Amino acid sequence: MASLSGKRITLIITGSIAAYKALELIRLLAKAGASVEGVLTQGGAAFITPLSVEALTGKPAHTAMWDERSYEMNHIELSRRADLIVIAPATAGIIAKLANGIGDDLASSVLLAKNKPVLLAPSMNTEMWENAAFRRNLAQAQADGATLVPPQTDTLACGETGIGKMAEPATILAAIEAHFQAAETLSGKTAIVTSGGTIERIDSVRYISNFSSGKQGNAIALALAQAGAKVSLVVGNTKEPAPQHPNIEALPVESAAEMKAAVEAKLPADIFVGCAAVCDFRVSNKADKKLKKEGGLDLQFEENPDIAKSVGTLPKEKRPQLVIGFAAETDDLIAYAQKKRASKGCDLIVANDVSQGAVFGQDQNTVHFVTKDSVQTLDTLPKSQVAAAILNWIRERL
């Protein structure tokens, strides 16, 4: 058992029969050296008593927004003083609140006020687990940075057999230990991540861009930040909010030229991930005012700088230790990715097929890791898990 000495856990216990397992999880966390504070929803307190949680944690169990025993704003302080927020068991209801920013009780308000990572151990009936609305909520929670400890397939409390049984306390403990181990692996490292699309103006009201949502780049930035790296997230055209983490500095830009300048301003760095969909060309004769349709459009183009190439081909003393580029293609995916890796000087190209509108704006991605010596195809995964795979690739080489 790894030591969790000095680590502070806020444990949210919700209304599932698996709530009784939370008591064993508290015992295991305490044995590993962690300090635990318990938060019970109304449903959680229907299954286990606050007194039992207090007996094992040695601290008051929190059930209400305003506690007569304290003048603190519990929903804020329970997040601020924790190193990790664990929800075990996590019902479909609490995950829906987490995904949609609903704070209508203490537990959901802690999640809404959080500035710390969240780990989920779901517990529910199989039909609920497979429900389309729940799957959307779970995907959103993961995209926002939550870590999932998957449920088991077994006989459930209702007597049915299927997926939905909460992971065992020892498994959840191992996930918590892995979280803290991962959070230290890139400590002291700096990273630059580009995300979203770029905008190339035609005139004062029109522009050329693409369908990139920024979801994958944001997920990568968050994964690196959670692993301890200081991340400069250079964000182009996207409707997605930049992930909130103390290690992330978001730098909004518009054009490819602005993105390149922002990247160069943050060099030197240990890691570069060029996930943004940068327009290959810009309008060289753009107008300062709106062009009238009566005059027609006579657009002239010039090539934009290749940001990944400009970083990947830097002299060794200035180049990041790892340079990762992306290849979004509609045909001959691997061949183009291999060509791009060589020409751009990248250590890794993450290749994805974007034909028929796939990938852009979606919550899942199917990628291939293309290096000088190999091609690795990953399963279709949530973009947060693609980010985790990229993080693991980086860890192994740093």
Quick: pLDDT tens for 63-103. 987 765 555 567 778 888 899 999 999 999 999 999 999 99
Is 158 assigned a catalytic role?
A: yes
Q: Does 167 share its domain with 217?
A: no
Per the listing, tokens 């999640």 go with 111
Phi, psi at residue 277, to the nearest 5°? Answer: -90, 90
Query: SS3 of 274, please?
Result: strand
Residues pairing with 195 in the sheet: 235
Query: Is the residue at 3 inside a domain?
Result: no
Q: Which residues span the domain enclosing 303?
A: 190-397
What is the per-residue pLDDT for 194? 97
Q: Does 194 share its domain with 275?
A: yes
* Residue 279 to residue 208: CA distance in whole angstroms: 8
Number of independent structural domains in the chain: 2
What is the per-residue pLDDT for 68? 56
Kindly report the pTM of this predicted structure: 0.71
Cβ atoms of residues 236 and 301 within 8 Å: no
Q: How far is CA 255 from the centre of its chain?
A: 25
Query: SS3 of 57, please?
Result: helix
* Per-residue pLDDT tens digits for 206-253: 899 988 889 899 989 989 998 889 999 999 999 888 887 889 999 999
What is the per-residue pLDDT for 359? 57
Q: Does 51 share its domain with 165?
A: yes
- Domain boundary among the residues 161, 182, 203 is at 182
Q: Please give the structure tokens belonging to residue 207.
A: 């522009």
Q: Does 177 share its domain with 282?
A: no
| Total Cβ atoms within 10 A of residue 70 | 11
What is the per-residue pLDDT for 213? 87
Residue 227's alpha-carbon distances to 72, 182, 230, in angstroms, are: 30, 5, 9
DSSP run (H or E) holding 187? none
- Listed in sequence order, the residues at least 6 apart from 373 whose beta carbon sits closer than 8 Å to its beta carbon are none
Q: Does 136 share its domain with 280?
A: no
Residues pairing with 163 in the sheet: 153
Q: Does 247 share its domain with 126?
A: no
Catalytic residue from among 158, 275, 279, 346 = 158
Cβ atoms of residues 283 and 202 within 8 Å: yes
* Residue 209 to residue 207: CA distance in whole angstroms: 7
Residues of the chain with pLDDT under 70: 1-2, 67-73, 356-363
Query: Is the residue at 225 inside a domain?
Result: yes
